[in-house]
Amino acid sequence: MKTGVSAVVVGSTPFLPLARAQLRSLGAPEIPIAEIPHPFSTIGRDEVRRVAENCVDSIARLALRGPGSGSSGARRERRELAGAAAGLPEVDMPDDPVEFNRACACRHWSDGLPVVPPTRKRVEWMLSGTRRSPGEIIHRVAPGFGAASIERIAANAVMAGCRPELFPVLLAVVEAVTDERFNIQGIQATTGPATPWIVVNGPVAERLGFNAGTNCLGQGWPANATLGRALRLVLQNVGGAFPGEMDHATQGQPGKYTFCCGENQAESPWPPLHVERGYAADEGVVTLIAAASTVDMNTHADNAEDLLKVMADTMAFPACNDYHFGGAPWLIVSPEHAAILADGGRAKSDVRKRLWERSKMKASRFAATDYERASHTRGGELGAFTPETNVPIAASPDDIGIVVAGGAGAHSVYVPSFGISRAVSRKVGD
């Protein structure tokens, strides 16, 4: 039997707006959606079987009816995604700053904080920071697949409060975040709190005023704050990831407003991150990392082995995507802790290897359903999977990232990752 439909999308109830928006963005709004109730990860096997049988029936009905037969919700009129096309249209907005920001909030164009009106004059001012053509499209940004043109990125940079000298750095950031290895599709639509973290290296970091020292992840530094915020606005306004629509983070995290720092190369005993990743020392480089959270590691350990022990113990917790998927966790090592490790004869490779070995965790520590998940996701890598299996946090010690940042104090930071993502670096151009 021939039908007029080649696909049916399956989605649980809270994710139907995401599915509909993505289908519109991909030019296939007629593809029907089979809805299943949520949640289904916490129900028993018998109930899962019943839900699956109902879903199969729904898929069959939708496939036989043909295109355009989705639910009334699929046909409901919804707001057009910002950034669906490359051009930058003129929009009449209130002149009063309070009313302007209220209008932006109603249109879902802001992150909740006040934004700078992206007038034509201000966008042209931002574009003066690059020689690239305003109409050039870097990539389409998931999950809405809006076109990230240079001009649209400039408008969001204006809204975030960036200055033109930061604009080439932002362009490199957008290139990195849309690299397939970074998996921005998964990060934007996940129920987890993952968000891009930007690390800036090279002379450009000092020249443009990126904070790599005291309070480098905190407030007070315009370069850190506005670059990270500009990326968030691009991800939302071009990528379409507005909370509750395409962004389904259960709680999210403060780093989704802005998450950016430099590396404290001056106080690091090791080669800087960008050199490690194959770039020249005098090149400006951004590295994008999918950060799930930050965990303070406050320890006054005064020798390398003791310090590595407590760091590894801090990394090992069972409700962590890195253990479930063989991820790529990171550590922000303070200058004081880095000095202890270096004085103890540890190169970065030694630190990675020791952390990887000591942070292995018994599979019995997983919740029962998470144990089943990990047996599927890590079984091919680890072989026979039993409660006694020592599960490493990553497939290899080389997957553990280390950056030196921060000021004085016996604090380092553990940054668990999204798990299904890898860091991506890009050179800052013109």
Those residues with Cβ within 8 angstroms of residue 216's Cβ, 6 or more apart along the chain or in another chain: 224, 261, 262, 264, 405, 406, 407
* Model confidence pLDDT, tens digit, residues 46-97: 777 887 887 888 888 787 776 554 443 333 333 333 444 446 778 889 999 9
Give the integer Cα–Cα distance in Å for 403 and 289.
11
According to the model, what pLDDT value does residue 50 have?
82
- The pLDDT of residue 79: 36
What does the pLDDT look like over 302-345, one tens digit per residue?
999 999 999 999 999 999 999 999 999 999 999 999 999 999 99
CB count within 10 Å of CB 252 equals 16
* Res 81: pLDDT: 36
Q: What is the mean pLDDT of residues 186-208?
A: 96
- The pLDDT score that the predictor gives to residue 68 is 52
Q: Which residues contact 261 (CB under 8 A, 6 or more apart)?
A: 198, 199, 200, 210, 211, 212, 216, 217, 224, 332, 405
How distant is the alpha carbon of residue 164 from its chain centre?
24
pLDDT value of position 13: 81
Give one DSSP letter per residue of 31-60, joined into a string: S-EEEE-S--SSS-HHHHHHHHHHHHHHHH
Cα angle at 325 between 384 and 397, to 5 degrees?
85
At residue 305, the pLDDT reads: 97
**Percentage with pLDDT > 90 across the chain:** 77
What's the CA gap between 336 and 409, in Å, rounded? 7
Candidates 31, 37, 42, 46; CA nearest to 11 is 37
Mention every residue, 6+ apart, whose C-beta is less than 8 A from residue 354: 308, 312, 346
Highest mean pLDDT among 30-39, 68-77, 384-393: 384-393
The three-class DSSP label of residue 277 is coil
Cα-Cα-Cα-Cα dihedral sign, residues 214, 220, 223, 229: positive
Tell me which residue of 5, 11, 24 sits closest to 64, measured CA to CA: 5
CA-to-CA distance for 268 and 141, rounded, in angstroms? 35
In this prediction the pTM is 0.88
H/E run at residue 73:
helix 72-75
Instruction: Provide the pLDDT for residue 67.
Output: 57
Structure confidence at residue 232 as a pLDDT band (50, 70, 90): very high
pLDDT, tens only, 149-185:
999 999 999 999 999 999 999 999 999 999 999 999 9
The DSSP symbol for 243 reads B
Task: Give the residue with greater pLDDT, 71 vs 349.
Answer: 349
Average pLDDT for the chain:
91
**Phi and psi torsions of 271, nearest 5°:** -60, 145
**Which contacts qualify for 336-340: CB closer than 8 Å, 24 or more apart?**
336/408, 336/409, 336/410, 337/299, 337/307, 337/410, 337/412, 338/267, 338/268, 338/269, 338/270, 338/404, 339/269, 340/301, 340/302, 340/303, 340/304, 340/307
Q: Is residue 228 scored above 90 in pLDDT?
A: yes
Considering only residues 75 and 190, tell me which one the structure prediction assigns the higher pLDDT. Answer: 190
The two structure tokens encoding residue 217: 């992840």
- Lowest-confidence segment of 54-68, 121-135, 204-218, 308-322 by average pLDDT: 54-68
pLDDT of residue 75: 33
Asked if the model's pLDDT at residue 7 lies above 90, the reply is no
* pLDDT at position 66: 60
Question: For residues 55 and 23, what is the distance between their CA atoms, to the nearest angstrom?
Answer: 20
Cα dihedral: 77, 78, 83, 88 (round 10): 60
Residue 27's pLDDT is 77
Residue 130 reports pLDDT greater than 80: yes
Residue range 269-284: mean pLDDT, rounded: 98
Mean pLDDT of 284-297: 98
